[in-house]
Structure 1
Amino acid sequence: MKFKLYSLLLLVTFLFSCQQDDAKRKAEQLKDIKKKEVVFYAINEAWFFDIPEMTEKARVITNNWAELRLFVTELDQKPTSSINAFQKKAKILSKKVAELNNNIPAEFNTTPVRSRIAILNTKINSLNLYINLRDIPVKKVEKILAEINVELYWFYEQMEEIIIKSEIPAEDGEPDFMLMKDSKRAIPTDTKIINSPDLE
């Protein structure tokens, strides 16, 4: 009789313990789901890329720059379904921004433009890193998204500046002046001091 009572008590304790564990697990899952929803809505709200308009001349120059077109297309397509969609998009953007260094039009293949691409690359790689963490730092992601928009503006501005400078007509004599400044054209000087009899 004692054995049956003891067995029954153990069974009740075991069932009660299982129910508590189940309830705890469900509460944690619910908490995790709510946390992911909050993160998703915050990132969804902040995920906006302000792509500047190009002038007609810049559009003509970049017409054959397929990498820029593909990058802008990816920026323009906003994920909407889940955090995983944002994570996948960040990986794609990271790949596309790295490809911007390929086939840069000759007019824009300058150090300032390449520097702007490098900064954009760093910002988008940071976005990719932070959004793929287990605990996504929402404030950091929001800040990086805002910084990417600033860098996009300066990247486009740099290309427009190159076009404006190329349209400024050279002043009279400027080409000759630039040639005179060219150190490769300088007349080599001999470092020996020539003692002239007239100077003695």
Structure 2
Amino acid sequence: MKFKLSYLLFFFIIFSSCKDDNKKRIAENEKDAKKKEVIFSNINKGWVFYDSPINTTAEESVATWNELRLFLAELAQKPKKTIGAFQQKATAISKKAMALNENLPIQFDKPQIKSRISTLITKVRLLDLYIHLDAIPDKKVIHLIAEINNELASLQRQMDKIVEKSKIPVEEGESELKKMMDASRAIPNSSPTMIDPNTPKVE
């Protein structure tokens, strides 16, 4: 009889502890779900990219620079419903950003454009990294979106400067002056070596 009572007591303790564990697990799952819901909501609100050209130069370039057009088109498509959709979109944006270095139009194949593209790529890849973390830092993700918008605007303004500069007419003689100042075109110094006046002359 005592054995049966102790057995029942033991079973009751195990059952109640399991019940407590289940309650804790359910409470933790609910807390985790709410946290993920808040993160999704914040990212969903902050996921706003400047996907339209900001000046005439960028607008005209979109017609000829395929990689820029595809990058802006990728930014324009906002994901929906799940955080997984945002993760997939971040990866797609990252691939399109890296392609910006390929087939650069000749007029934009310049260090100041390349450096801006490089910075833009870095920011986009960081976004892709952060959004794939287990604990997504939603504030950092939103901050990076703002930085990507700034870098994209900076790139388009630089493109505009290059185009505007190319429209300025060259003054007469300016191109010749530039050529003269170009060190790579300089004539090497081939003057005869100085002769020491103390060297005896052979007559």
TM-score of the two chains, using structure 1 as the length reference: 0.90
Identity value in percent: 46
Q: Indicate if the aligned counterparts of 1:51 and 1:152 stay in contact, CA closer than 8 A.
A: no
- Counterpart in the other structure of 1:19: 19
The 1:53/1:62 distance shift into structure 2, 3 A limit, reads closer
Which range moves more in the overlay, 90-99 or 26-35? Answer: 90-99
Q: Indicate if the aligned counterparts of 2:119 and 2:151 stay in contact, CA closer than 8 A.
A: yes
Written as runs of structure 1 = structure 2, the 5 A alignment for 1:64-143 is 64-143=64-143
Q: Deviations over 1:39-84 (max 9, x none)?
A: 1111111111123535445444442322211111111111121211
1:193 corresponds to which letter in structure 2? M
Name stretches of at least 5 consecutive residues in structure 2 with no aligned partner: 198-203
Which range moves more in the overlay, 185-194 or 174-183? Answer: 185-194
2:109 corresponds to which letter in structure 1? N
CA drift of 1:185 comes to 2.8
Q: Deviations over 1:91-123 (max 9, x none)?
A: 111111011111111111111111111000000
What is the distance in 2 between the residues matched to 1:46 and 1:58? 24
Name stretches of at least 5 consecutive residues in structure 1 with no aligned partner: none
Q: Deviations over 1:19-56 (max 9, x none)?
A: 11111110010000000011111111111112353544
Q: Report the RMSD for the aligned CA atoms in angstroms.
A: 1.8
1:42 corresponds to which letter in structure 2? N
The 1:61/1:16 distance shift into structure 2, 3 A limit, reads closer
Paired residue secondary structure (1:13): helix
Paired residue secondary structure (2:26): helix
What is the distance in 1 between the residues matched to 2:131 and 2:113? 27
Q: Indicate if the aligned counterparts of 1:52 and 1:152 stay in contact, CA closer than 8 A.
A: no
Q: Indicate if the aligned counterparts of 2:67 and 2:96 stay in contact, CA closer than 8 A.
A: yes
TM-score of the two chains, using structure 2 as the length reference: 0.89
The 1:62/1:73 distance shift into structure 2, 3 A limit, reads closer
Q: Indicate if the aligned counterparts of 2:124 and 2:148 stay in contact, CA closer than 8 A.
A: yes
What is the distance in 2 between the residues matched to 1:140 and 1:84? 17
The 1:52/1:155 distance shift into structure 2, 3 A limit, reads farther
Which range moves more in the overlay, 61-70 or 169-178? Answer: 61-70
